[in-house]
Amino acid sequence: MTEPLDSLDYAKNLDKKDTLRHFRSEFYIPSNTIYLDGNSLGLLSKRAEHSLQEVLHSWKTLGIDGWTQGEHPWYYLSETLGEMSASLVGAEPNEVIVTGSTTTNLHQILSTFYQPEGHKNKILADELNFPSDIYALKSQLQLHGLQPETHLVQVKSRDGHTLHEDDIVSAMTEDIAFIVLPSVLYRSGQILDMEYLTREAHKRDILIAFDLCHSIGAVPHCLSKWNVDFAFWCNYKHLNGGPGSVASLYVNQKHFNTSPGLAGWFGSDKNKQFDMEHTMFPASDAGAYQIGTPHLLSAAPLYGSLSMFNEAGIENIRAKSLKMTEYFMELIDKQLHFYDFQIANPQVNEKRGAHIYLEHPEAARICKALKANHVIPDFRSPHGIRLAPVPLYNTYEEIWKTVQLLKRIMDEKLYKKFSNKRDVIA
């Protein structure tokens, strides 16, 4: 390419060469908008809309027989969606089940597999994880009669943005029974080395679970190969399953046949469930950790969405994502260096997740100015702007336009029209 990197033609050329570009037309993009918030809530695709309509159609035309008939028989949908997700996490098809929410799945994992014994009774986490996970960990400790102040160990960040894997390993002391960590940090987007952390945890006889909310559908995983014990994630961000979409749970097959800590009839062996006995016969795979009737209308969009991911290929998605975030950072370096922005996400490919995290003292109102000009980021306290270019529906041209807008917001001080405080939903 002969055009300078910060020219519009350069961006257009990148789009022309993009082999995933045809997927954009499958999405509903809010009109006149550059949507860079797919890491909070992904956009609706036509395929997701269609699979939701198919499930509604079964209800409309089949009533209760929709459980076993129609396009997506409801009785098996959670398992089918789990199988369709397996390649995204590198798991066996029966190790993944679509069920619950991120937070309830973490509760299920802990209720089932966190078994404090003697002095080996603490949980290890970190101080940068999303609050919901930490709330769940504290409440689980309390259910065991343990104090979060003494029994939840949170690894500290050296710089406020990232974690050192070696600090985490140093915190894997003899009294740790269970570890819960994010795969990708929700603010800085740092990827943790899940394989290394799992190996080190197992050397010390500690079970380990990862929250994949910010890596699922954006970064490939090899959970089985890495021997990860458990993982859980939401499907409403990169996987575009819709607001409140049903979440997912991975249980390594070596842990199958452990009685669910939170039991309910949908965790039953499917052939026994309708025997209506008061003794439960749990499924012999990840399905055992379901609880009640699946929220089918909140699971159905995933069917269409996952079909796109499987068609596009997670390796291709990751390659484009890396290219997009790299281009974003190059433009920021070139065009915004006067304005006190700090790129706070890791810059090397192996450590960089799927979004850019820009810090600025005026971040809250810069976000508001972006939104007023039809670019959708999100703000994370205290000073962060998250910008997520999504491979299946964003373009390089949109990245270029966003950086031009940021430059204009700073040059013309447009952010000063707004207060530097977050909105109710940031």
Ligand X SMILES: Cc1ncc(COP(=O)(O)O)c(C=O)c1O
Ligand Y SMILES: Nc1c(O)cccc1C(=O)C[C@H](N)C(=O)O
Residue 16 contacts by C-beta under 8 Å, 6 or more apart in sequence?
A: none
Residues in region 65-104 near ligand X by CB under 6 A: 101-103
Nearest to 104 by CA among 179, 207, 217, 211: 211
Letters for 155-194 (x = contact with ligand Y by CB under 6 A, - = none) are -------------------------------x--------
Among 11, 14, 36, 41, binds ligand Y (CB under 6 A): 41
As a whole number of angstroms, the distance between CA 200 and CA 396 comes to: 39
As a whole number of angstroms, the distance between CA 92 and CA 288 comes to: 15
Among 74, 113, 226, 236, binds ligand Y (CB under 6 A): 236
Letters for 97-136 (x = contact with ligand X by CB under 6 A, - = none) are ----xxx--------------------------x-xx---
Active site residue 24: no
Residue type, 164: H
Active site residue 237: yes
As a whole number of angstroms, the distance between CA 248 and CA 250 comes to: 7
Least CB distance from residue 202 to ligand X, whole Å? 23
Q: Which does 210 bind (CB under 5 to 8 A by kind): ligand Y, ligand X, none?
A: none
> What token pair was written down for 49?
């809309």
Active site residue 211: yes
Least CB distance from residue 209 to ligand Y, whole Å? 17
Per CB under 6 A, does 36 bind ligand Y? no
Pairing of strands 152-155, 122-126: parallel
**Catalytic residue from among 122, 138, 187, 237:** 237
10 Å Cβ neighbour count for 128?
20
Letters for 238-277 (x = contact with ligand Y by CB under 6 A, - = none) are -----x----------------------------------
DSSP 285: S
Per CB under 6 A, does 390 bind ligand Y? no
**Catalytic residue from among 211, 229, 285, 378:** 211
Comparison of 124 and 409: residue with beta carbon closer to ligand X? 124
Active site residue 386: yes
Question: Would you list the DSSP string of 293-325?
Answer: S--HHHHHHHHHHHHHHHHH-HHHHHHHHHHHH
Least CB distance from residue 40 to ligand Y, whole Å? 4
Least CB distance from residue 213 to ligand Y, whole Å? 6
At 210, is the secondary structure helix, strand, or coil?
A: strand
Q: In degrees to the nearest 10, what's the CA dihedral of 78, 83, 85, 87?
A: 170
Least CB distance from residue 136 to ligand X, whole Å? 9
Least CB distance from residue 160 to ligand X, whole Å? 17
Nearest to 304 by CA among 256, 239, 350, 367: 239
Nearest to 390 by CA among 230, 253, 214: 214
Return the sign of the alpha-carbon dihedral for residues 29, 31, 35, 37.
negative
Among 211, 229, 285, 398, binds ligand X (CB under 6 A): 211
Residue 319 contacts by C-beta under 8 Å, 6 or more apart in sequence?
A: none
Q: Which does 425 bind (CB under 5 to 8 A by kind): ligand X, ligand Y, none?
A: ligand Y
Strand partners, 359: 342, 384
**Catalytic residue from among 6, 21, 75, 130:** 130
Which residues are known to be catalytic?
130, 211, 236-237, 386
| List of residues contacting ligand X (CB under 6 A) | 101-103, 130, 132-133, 182, 186, 211, 213-214, 234, 247
| List of residues contacting ligand Y (CB under 6 A) | 40-41, 130, 186, 236, 243, 425
